[in-house]
Structure 1
Amino acid sequence: MKKRTHTCGELRISDAGKIVILNGWVDRIRDLGGIKFVLLRDRYGFTQVVFDPQNEALYSMALKLGNEFCVSVTGTVRERPGDARNSGMSTGDIEIAADELEILSESAIPPIYINIDEESSEEMHLRYRYLDLRRPAMQNNIVTRHRFVQATRSYLNRNGFIDVETPVLGKSTPEGARDFLVPSRLKPGKFYALPQSPQIFKQLLMVAGFDKYYQIAKCFRDEDFRADRQPEFTQIDIEMSFATEEDVFSITEGLMKHAFKEAVGVDLETPFKRFTYREVMDLYGSDKPDTRYEMEIRDLSAQFDGTSFSPISDALGQGMKVKGFMIRGLAGKFSRKRLDDFTQQSKELGLGGLMWIKVESDSIKSSIIKHCQREVEKVVEFFGAEVGDLVLLSVGESLSLSRALGQLRIRITKEENLRAEGFDFLWVTEFPMFSFNKEEGRIEAEHHPFTMPDLDDLEKFGDTQPLKVRSKAYDLVLNGYEIASGSVRIHRQDIQSRVFDLIGLSREEAMEKFGYLLEAFQYGPPPHAGIAPGLDRIVAIIVGAPSIRDVIAFPKVASGADLMTSAPSEVSQKQLDLLKLQLKDSGDRE
């Protein structure tokens, strides 16, 4: 094989006359007037190679070529005739007049198309992932991911962070998602756990005095089957000592600004918008809203003050709220049947029903206008609704009402295929410290038990109304997806003990699960805070991929299976015997 002199995306008119060597794959072959035109492809682009029948030996070899053959071509760069130029290719002004051809390896007929986008099943693309990854779109995704990672490392290194690897084999701490367990051969009956995150180890690094840590960390969660989730994923793990929320916000915004610029040439505006948890729930009914769309949820209770319409007046008398949002210009797309469908969904979401108001050219129409025309007109005035606008509204308990309307809002953006450009970053702060687990009948940590609570809230509500306690936890949201989560950590033993007490974790249980961390906290732990942006999701949003599978080289399907390698798979009895394991139920062997 001759070593290539150029890549397939490199040559230009200025290279005309040069003798070059290209290596790559045959993307497609055309025959025009007896002349063979072969489009050669590598990950850098395409170059057209011409085989003239006057060179009989070379032409004869070219006749043997098929799609995806791996070849080496030697030839002379020449300018294409004006009418043969292709402005859609970076090399579209030139072609290679072939002098030599070496077939490095032949290819069977590929089971998936590589040179065209077609609707073959995703299963086939994942089964033959090594072929799927030859597609330019997939290669662009992987290269973009690489650039983002390189930019991340560059930025954090420049800001004094050090990259520290933490263990992959660790201790199981059955909190949150299930662990992937790894049996120990040398300690029969005992198991390691693959890390759901490096959370505890990075806090120990803060205790050890490494004040600025980061890691491109592989994480593992044995979750139930869910669309667009991966059992193994990658996060950009960051922790800082002597840091506040503001320090984390600043370094994260700087990281995103730098990485987006370096990876895809996008200039982000900083600082990012900020909302409290309560604010985003009130405005959007979601803790990860996409604010590029309008349709903000508004409290309309004042517009119905004094109404004689009993379903609303009775609800307001019980302390409930009337809320709604406006859909601009789409009223004509909402037939009575479709509105009935949305009403049914609102009931499934826990609401009593759904009311609507349409502004038409000659009148205002509404499902409740016969009962409260004055109030309907007030709502139209409040929103500044114009012809073609639609308002959806309902009544209920404030937070649950916002959540339900938020679900309807998301459904509309999807069904109407509403497009919004750009990257919409925002911070969500002041999450609840605790939530109530109905299944287990107990209070649990909303984020994790090492999150610092708001100390004023803890003092005021801890003993009587712990669900009112806010935390020093925060999320970074991008285009409606949570892309990072973090918090200020607890570093004081008295606060940690109080949190453990509130979630019903005894001192003995805490020591069993987290003893090494609690022990370390006896030796002067610094205040610290951190965050962990999700690399897979960020890159998927950047490249516009519908699934994070499109930005992971070798992903799993929703069931956790690897269709290419057939993992997970059965193991031999000998392997089980070495581990002192016995299968109780082999389950589904399909």
Structure 2
Amino acid sequence: MERTIVEEVIKKVGQKVKVCGWVHTRRDHGKIIFIDLRDRSGLLQVVFAPNFAPAHELANSLRSEYVVAIEGTVNARPEKMINEKIPTGKVELVGEALEILNEAKTPPFEIDSPQDAGEEIRLKYRYLDLRRQRMKNNTIMRHKIIKAVRDYFDHLGFLEIETPVLTKGTPEGAREFIVPARLWPGKFYVLPQSPQQFKQLLMVAGMEKYFQIARCFRDEDTRGDRQAEFTQIDVEMSFVSQEEIWQVVEALMIEVVEKLYPQKIISQKPFPRLTYAEAMAKYQSDKPDLRKDKKNADELAFCWVIDMPMFKYSAAEKKAVAVHHPFTMPNLEDMAKSPDEPLKWRAYGYDLALNGSEIWGGSIRIHRRDIQQKVFEILGVKQEEIERRFGHMLEAFSYGAPPHGGIAAGLDRIVSILQDEPNIREVIVFPKTGDNRDLMMAAPNIIGKKTMKEAHIELASDVENNETVEETATAD
């Protein structure tokens, strides 16, 4: 018999069906055994009675999280037994045949408990944590948001283009993960902090409208609610103004909220706009929370912060550094007015804040080689390093680079806010801890001496490594 998913059972009263899933809970009332069967679509009450003796006898051995297949007849529940809390609450399945597909150990925490277990144990057993309704809902809504984003940009004529994950170092501020190039001893790839350079080169290539759901990586020190790898909605356009970019993003966010979160209220449409100077003067923040009731999770207060500074002075580095990144176009009026005072320059840079969090950030890009060269000089990058690190970009600009601009969003942050979650780990399927450990996979881990030798890596003498890993052949 073909399987029926739980949410479809309600349409089949009086019919025989086969359902598969996990034993969510079990309750015994005299000789009758009740279980709630769980699959991805929902819960279904199943009744095992003595008149179907083989199934009833086997049901005596059922425990929470056993994986089962059950065949039986769908009956309407008596009126007094209807459960309005679940979509299938008006029916139940009479268990006539039962197959235990797999037994399960007692989980380290209760799957159906409304109380969270400790975060470390949840992350260690994330595959069990994801069985919980809250986590399943977060995963489903994340999928729906991504699909809505893809559909929106596809409708506008954007191309979804994948960019490389193994690349060269970039100047975007954070420390990068490095990957030894085994075939090129002494050389390294890095994992991208963003697809920034690639998406600009796609504009030089004439793609004109690009987007990507991109995986990004930053080897940062412990910084609160951050992840070493995260997901970005990445967008770039040619022959575009700031205004056009804002309109595209604003319409996207309104569409996502209205289609997927109709219970939420956007406080102002169109979104208000503040200059960076205004935001700092009025709210002492470049991502102000403009909600009237900051305890109301269903109020969404979007706000554009524009005219960002181009540079700021870094006391640690004792020099000017880029506020966004060095490919941001400076305000040409400010350049002309104060050519020797770059700390006074504004940028064609902008952020979109939501309820006090930055969710999108972008800029109009530099497309002229002379301006890009000037920015690198202000940042104190020597000519030799400019050619070594960015020669490919400067050369590309000499082959007819169009004016272009773009923006990127932290998908994890957007989902966490819309799902009313306290942190982004709750909306990432397999997150890491704040100090970048994967407790489920026990990563990072020690690698074998043979692998290290092949990659031309030798640990420094001050690195403690008391574990010796002997490698054995593994299947591909």
- 1:515 Cα deviation from its structure 2 partner: 0.8
**Alignment correspondent of 2:451:** 575
**Alignment correspondent of 1:248:** 245
**Alignment correspondent of 1:382:** none
What is the CA–CA distance in structure 2 between the aligned matches of 1:481 and 1:16, rounded to whole Å? 48
- Cα 1:472–1:140, aligned 2, differ >3 Å: closer, same or farther? same
Pair 1:195-2:71 in alignment = no
- 1:175 Cα deviation from its structure 2 partner: 4.2
What is the CA–CA distance in structure 2 between the aligned matches of 1:34 and 1:113, rounded to whole Å? 26
What's the CA shift string for 1:235-259, capped at 9, x where partnerless?
0100000001011111111222223
What fraction of aligned residue pairs are identical, expressed as a percent? 49
**Alignment correspondent of 2:361:** 485
3-state DSSP of counterpart to 2:6: coil
**Alignment correspondent of 2:320:** 443
What's the CA shift string for 1:287-334, capped at 9, x where partnerless?
11111047xxxxxxxxxxxxxxxxxxxxxxxxxxxxxxxxxxxxxxxx
- 1:479 Cα deviation from its structure 2 partner: 1.1
- Cα 1:257–1:175, aligned 2, differ >3 Å: closer, same or farther? closer
* One-letter identity of the residue aligned with 2:321: E
- 1:495 Cα deviation from its structure 2 partner: 1.7
* One-letter identity of the residue aligned with 1:10: E
Do the aligned residues in 1 keep the contact of 2:228 with 2:436 (CA within 8 Å)?
A: yes
Of 500, 503, 506, which aligns to 2:376?
Answer: 500
Do the aligned residues in 2 keep the contact of 1:36 with 1:50 (CA within 8 Å)?
A: yes
Pair 1:274-2:243 in alignment = no
Pair 1:128-2:4 in alignment = no
What is the CA–CA distance in structure 1 between the aligned matches of 2:451 and 2:76, rounded to whole Å? 63
**Alignment correspondent of 2:331:** 454
* One-letter identity of the residue aligned with 1:518: L
Of 79, 82, 85, which aligns to 2:82?
Answer: 85
Pair 1:527-2:416 in alignment = no
Of 197, 200, 225, which aligns to 2:222?
Answer: 225
Of 422, 428, 431, which aligns to 2:299?
Answer: 422
Alignment of 1:319-398 (within 5 A): none
**Alignment correspondent of 1:53:** 50
Do the aligned residues in 2 keep the contact of 1:25 with 1:70 (CA within 8 Å)?
A: yes
- Cα 1:458–1:589, aligned 2, differ >3 Å: closer, same or farther? farther
- Cα 1:293–1:589, aligned 2, differ >3 Å: closer, same or farther? farther
| TM-score, normalised by the number of residues in structure 2 | 0.94
- 1:75 Cα deviation from its structure 2 partner: 1.1
Of 383, 388, 397, which aligns to 1:512?
Answer: 388
What is the CA–CA distance in structure 1 between the aligned matches of 2:174 and 2:349, rounded to whole Å? 19
3-state DSSP of counterpart to 2:7: coil
**Alignment correspondent of 1:321:** none
Superposed CA RMSD in Å reads: 1.6
**Alignment correspondent of 2:442:** 566
What is the CA–CA distance in structure 2 between the aligned matches of 1:588 and 1:154, rounded to whole Å? 49
Do the aligned residues in 2 keep the contact of 1:172 with 1:193 (CA within 8 Å)?
A: yes
Do the aligned residues in 2 keep the contact of 1:148 with 1:260 (CA within 8 Å)?
A: no
- 1:270 Cα deviation from its structure 2 partner: 3.8
* One-letter identity of the residue aligned with 1:264: Y
More divergent stretch after superposition (49-58 vs 191-200): 49-58
What's the CA shift string for 1:256-292, capped at 9, x where partnerless?
2223334334675642111111111112111111110
- 1:9 Cα deviation from its structure 2 partner: 2.5
Do the aligned residues in 1 keep the contact of 2:297 with 2:420 (CA within 8 Å)?
A: no
* One-letter identity of the residue aligned with 2:89: G
What is the CA–CA distance in structure 2 between the aligned matches of 1:176 and 1:211, rounded to whole Å? 27
What is the CA–CA distance in structure 2 between the aligned matches of 1:213 and 1:38, rounded to whole Å? 50
Do the aligned residues in 1 keep the contact of 2:265 with 2:300 (CA within 8 Å)?
A: no
What's the CA shift string for 1:318-359, capped at 9, x where partnerless?
xxxxxxxxxxxxxxxxxxxxxxxxxxxxxxxxxxxxxxxxxx
Do the aligned residues in 2 keep the contact of 1:257 with 1:267 (CA within 8 Å)?
A: no
3-state DSSP of counterpart to 1:11: helix
What is the CA–CA distance in structure 1 between the aligned matches of 2:165 and 2:269, rounded to whole Å? 35
- Cα 1:283–1:588, aligned 2, differ >3 Å: closer, same or farther? farther
Do the aligned residues in 1 keep the contact of 2:312 with 2:321 (CA within 8 Å)?
A: yes
Q: Which one has the largest radius of gyration?
A: 1
- 1:76 Cα deviation from its structure 2 partner: 1.0
- 1:586 Cα deviation from its structure 2 partner: 2.7
What is the CA–CA distance in structure 2 between the aligned matches of 1:189 and 1:501, rounded to whole Å? 29
What is the CA–CA distance in structure 1 between the aligned matches of 2:120 and 2:62, rounded to whole Å? 28
**Alignment correspondent of 1:284:** 283
- Cα 1:588–1:276, aligned 2, differ >3 Å: closer, same or farther? farther
**Alignment correspondent of 1:111:** 108
- 1:420 Cα deviation from its structure 2 partner: 4.8
Pair 1:471-2:468 in alignment = no
Alignment of 1:22-37 (within 5 A): 22-37=19-34
What is the CA–CA distance in structure 2 between the aligned matches of 1:208 and 1:267, rounded to whole Å? 41
* One-letter identity of the residue aligned with 1:221: R
Aligned positions, number:
464
What is the CA–CA distance in structure 2 between the aligned matches of 1:561 and 1:279, rounded to whole Å? 40
**Alignment correspondent of 2:99:** 102
What is the CA–CA distance in structure 2 between the aligned matches of 1:260 and 1:514, rounded to whole Å? 39
**Alignment correspondent of 2:473:** none
* One-letter identity of the residue aligned with 1:425: F
- 1:98 Cα deviation from its structure 2 partner: 1.2
More divergent stretch after superposition (144-153 vs 258-267): 258-267
| TM-score, normalised by the number of residues in structure 1 | 0.76
What is the CA–CA distance in structure 2 between the aligned matches of 1:290 and 1:267, rounded to whole Å? 15
- 1:50 Cα deviation from its structure 2 partner: 0.5
* One-letter identity of the residue aligned with 2:334: D
What's the CA shift string for 1:530-563, capped at 9, x where partnerless?
0001111111111111111111111111110100
* One-letter identity of the residue aligned with 1:482: E
**Alignment correspondent of 2:71:** 74
**Alignment correspondent of 2:426:** 550
* One-letter identity of the residue aligned with 1:167: P
Do the aligned residues in 2 keep the contact of 1:292 with 1:420 (CA within 8 Å)?
A: no
What is the CA–CA distance in structure 2 between the aligned matches of 1:502 and 1:69, rounded to whole Å? 64
What is the CA–CA distance in structure 1 between the aligned matches of 2:121 and 2:360, rounded to whole Å? 32
* One-letter identity of the residue aligned with 1:277: Y
**Alignment correspondent of 1:263:** 260
More divergent stretch after superposition (252-261 vs 141-150): 252-261
- 1:56 Cα deviation from its structure 2 partner: 2.3
- 1:485 Cα deviation from its structure 2 partner: 0.7
What's the CA shift string for 1:76-110, capped at 9, x where partnerless?
11111122111111111111111111111111101
Do the aligned residues in 2 keep the contact of 1:114 with 1:135 (CA within 8 Å)?
A: yes
Do the aligned residues in 1 keep the contact of 2:36 with 2:45 (CA within 8 Å)?
A: yes
**Alignment correspondent of 1:8:** 6
- 1:497 Cα deviation from its structure 2 partner: 2.1
What is the CA–CA distance in structure 1 between the aligned matches of 2:246 and 2:116, rounded to whole Å? 42
Do the aligned residues in 2 keep the contact of 1:183 with 1:191 (CA within 8 Å)?
A: yes
3-state DSSP of counterpart to 1:75: strand
**Alignment correspondent of 1:374:** none
Do the aligned residues in 2 keep the contact of 1:476 with 1:483 (CA within 8 Å)?
A: yes
- 1:459 Cα deviation from its structure 2 partner: 1.4
What is the CA–CA distance in structure 2 between the aligned matches of 1:541 and 1:27, rounded to whole Å? 29
- 1:422 Cα deviation from its structure 2 partner: 1.8
